Amino acid sequence: MTDASLPAVPSLARRFGALLLDWMLCVLAAGIFADPMRDGWAAPVVLIAVYTVFVGFFGQTPGMRLAKITCLDVDKGQPVGPLKAALRGTLLALVIPALIMDSERRGLHDRVAGTLIRPAA
């Protein structure tokens, strides 16, 4: 692939901003049924659930929508479905896979789940 044929890739700051907003919303939602400051599992569980539903069916979490980015299947350009989205969310919750990026700025979690982050249309 030449540089001209590569899809535009949102900046890391934009991606991090979307994740930060999603994380804050997940901590607030986890507060409904647990104490996120004491129960470290609560917010990651909510994050995985949010990714499963929103990325799986709509291609965007609330944070991604505000940051105007989308997460789609790398081959089909459509939402990935709940199983791949749950896998991506689980790996993202582990943090380390998101820090391992390739030359296309796709994290290990994106590679494993077969996803690509793009600017929203």
Q: Is residue 4 part of a domain?
A: no
Q: So what's the pLDDT on residue 7? A: 59
- CA-based angle 97:22:66, to the nearest 5? 115
Tell me the backbone φ, ψ of residue 94, rounded to 5 degrees: -75, -10
11 contact partners, CB below 8 Å, separation of at least 6: none
Q: Is residue 2 part of a domain?
A: no
pTM of the model: 0.88
Q: Is residue 112 part of a domain?
A: yes
Number of structural domains the chain divides into: 1
Residue 59, domain extent: 9-119
Q: Is residue 82 part of a domain?
A: yes
Tens of pLDDT, residue by residue over 19-53, are 999 999 999 999 999 998 899 999 999 999 999 99
Tell me the backbone φ, ψ of residue 35, rounded to 5 degrees: -100, 100
User: Does the pLDDT value for residue 8 go beyond 90?
Assistant: no
Tens of pLDDT, residue by residue over 70-112, are 999 999 999 999 999 999 999 999 988 888 999 888 999 999 9
Distance CA 8, CA 91 (A): 23
Q: So what's the pLDDT on residue 1? A: 42
Confidence band, pLDDT 50/70/90 cuts, at residue 13: very high
